[in-house]
Chains A and B, each alone.
Chain A
């Protein structure tokens, strides 16, 4: 998202104040306008929106407090910073009570004034970004963030088709693949989009607390339960309940959850009254639930209840075309936010990214890009800006402790093959051996071209 330049309106009857402040904030890169009276300020504000208004309190005619009142009548989002030559507590209190953003006494410490205005602008920017973010989630934009590979397009199709129904969805994938984002997309594309989306991480709480977190509790039902409290299921009434790490739920809570999912009714911990709730459930897990069912740690009836519709998010390493796409996306996003002019990835950095196994998936990927941008002073990201990737790519899936020449030769050949998309002619050329030798070595080391 491109950031626009914040603009300021400085209102003071004294010319030298307008000039000094105007000058100071122009150097800071703000767009600055000035007015010599409250009346003039209102005329300017009628034509143009301002993010921040800095106004003197004592002015002939309309004073700063009155000006602030008029401004907020028409546009409550404007941050009004009130300045004065005298430290008068009562005026300060009055200004703040009427909704001024802050209050400062002349002369200002330049550091302090800049900080206050920066903070005001930051607040406005965040508020705008929040609005934009909400719109983004509803729009098609997240598709881009998730990826454009065939696998992820399939995921998006599934999201779109299941969103309209009220079916229970099980989202599966390694950690960091964006399971919560998928849950969020289902919710925002569903008829429940205007209801709440309530998320619970089932792995984060011990049994007793998880129970009261999900179902709520009545006053005094257990030690520490000071008052009556609604559970997450109740809070999800009319909306969607997202249960992350569903595989971690203890046996006792599994029973209660199954009942709640089947009857859409709950009883608070320590309570007797049944409460009817209308909600949809999306669960997520990175565990092999089938195995847990076989082992008896996860109830089979609950498994079938939550696994009505399954969405599998493939790990990042299985969709190489998304690796660079996501890199470019976050590069643009972070570099504009950080004010950097990094244009892209160098060819060797691209190779490095594609070679890496991405055990932490998209989350690790975005962290890597963000870190690279912090250290990169060049126009392009180079391998030295990606230390995490250089540290662990040398093994290529082989046994890291096997240091024999054979093991190293095997892993080297495999690596070059992958870089050349298993084109034997190109690989042989890069290795400076002939094709027959390469075939023989591939046979010897049992290296096969991956199918599909």
Chain B
């Protein structure tokens, strides 16, 4: 049984094409549902906060809702820019809980962000998990305490590495997808 919803990926600013391609492929494999990349990029300038030198995640979410996606479509913004929410120093992503839009940033997930060696595979994996996580929020999932579940709360990139790129059984049940055993 494949889910009744679909995922649209929207680049916010310029995003390396191979990053988007890997992400699309990974999501389609896990979710067994249509996943496509929107042809138009979103210009990030209006979301820039010059004082913080970061981009406002909440404003991006508002923008993605305009016009609202078709029913069943979950629109996920993907960016390489650094995101913030007003009271937070930074966020990896943000989502409308139970709504159709979310945004995820690669900026702090790149291993080189904290001085580690670049690692393309790990970077792709982290972004895939972060997007799955935000997608889960758009499907009304809240944070999960199963340590390897994609809905686990990850405050640090290394925590993201510890998760599987899949939902645990209870979370998968809740959003009506079949559990993909990736091990």
Contact = CB atoms under 8 A, between A and B. Distances in A.
A26 B153 CA distance: 12
A20, A83, A108, A109 — which one has the most chain B CB atoms within 10 A of its CB? A20
A16 B169 contact: no
Contacts of B156: 111
B97 interface: yes
A56 to B, nearest CB: 10
Contacts of A27: 95, 97, 137, 142-143, 153
Interface in A82-118: 83, 106-111, 113-115
B87 interface: yes
A101 to B, nearest CB: 18
Given A23-B97, A341-B170, A29 B143 contact: yes
Given A27-B97, A29-B142, A20 B58 contact: yes
Interface string B148-171: 100001011000000000000110
A340 B89 CA distance: 32
B158 to A, nearest CB: 11
B169 A20 contact: no
Interface residues of A, number: 27
A114 B97 contact: no
Nearest to A339: B145
B85 interface: yes
Nearest to B98: A26
B84 interface: yes
Interface string A18-57: 0111011011110000000000000000000000000000
Interface string B31-61: 0000000000000000000000000001000
User: How many B residues are at the interface, by size bracket?
Assistant: 20 to 34
Given A20-B58, A339-B145, A341-B169, A28 B153 contact: yes
B58 A19 contact: yes
Nearest to A338: B145
A26 B142 contact: yes
A17 B142 contact: no
B85 to A, nearest CB: 4
Contact of B143 (A28, A83, A115): A28
Nearest to B152: A339
Nearest to A114: B155
Nearest to B61: A23
A107 B153 contact: no
Contact of A20 (B87, B90, B95): B87
Contacts of B58: 16, 19-20
Q: Which of A21, A23, A379 has the most CB of B within 10 A?
A: A23
B88 A107 contact: yes
Interface in B92-140: 94-95, 97, 137
A150 B143 CA distance: 45
Nearest to B94: A23
A339 B146 contact: yes
Given A19-B58, A23-B94, A110 B89 contact: yes
27 contacts: A17-B86, A17-B87, A20-B86, A21-B87, A23-B97, A24-B85, A27-B97, A27-B153, A28-B142, A28-B143, A83-B87, A106-B87, A107-B84, A107-B89, A108-B88, A108-B89, A110-B88, A110-B89, A111-B156, A113-B88, A114-B153, A114-B155, A115-B155, A339-B144, A340-B146, A341-B170, A379-B169
Interface of B: 58, 84-91, 94-95, 97, 137, 142-146, 148, 153, 155-156, 169-170
Given A27-B95, A110-B90, A340-B146, 10 more contacts: A20-B86, A27-B97, A27-B142, A28-B143, A108-B87, A110-B91, A110-B155, A338-B145, A339-B146, A377-B148
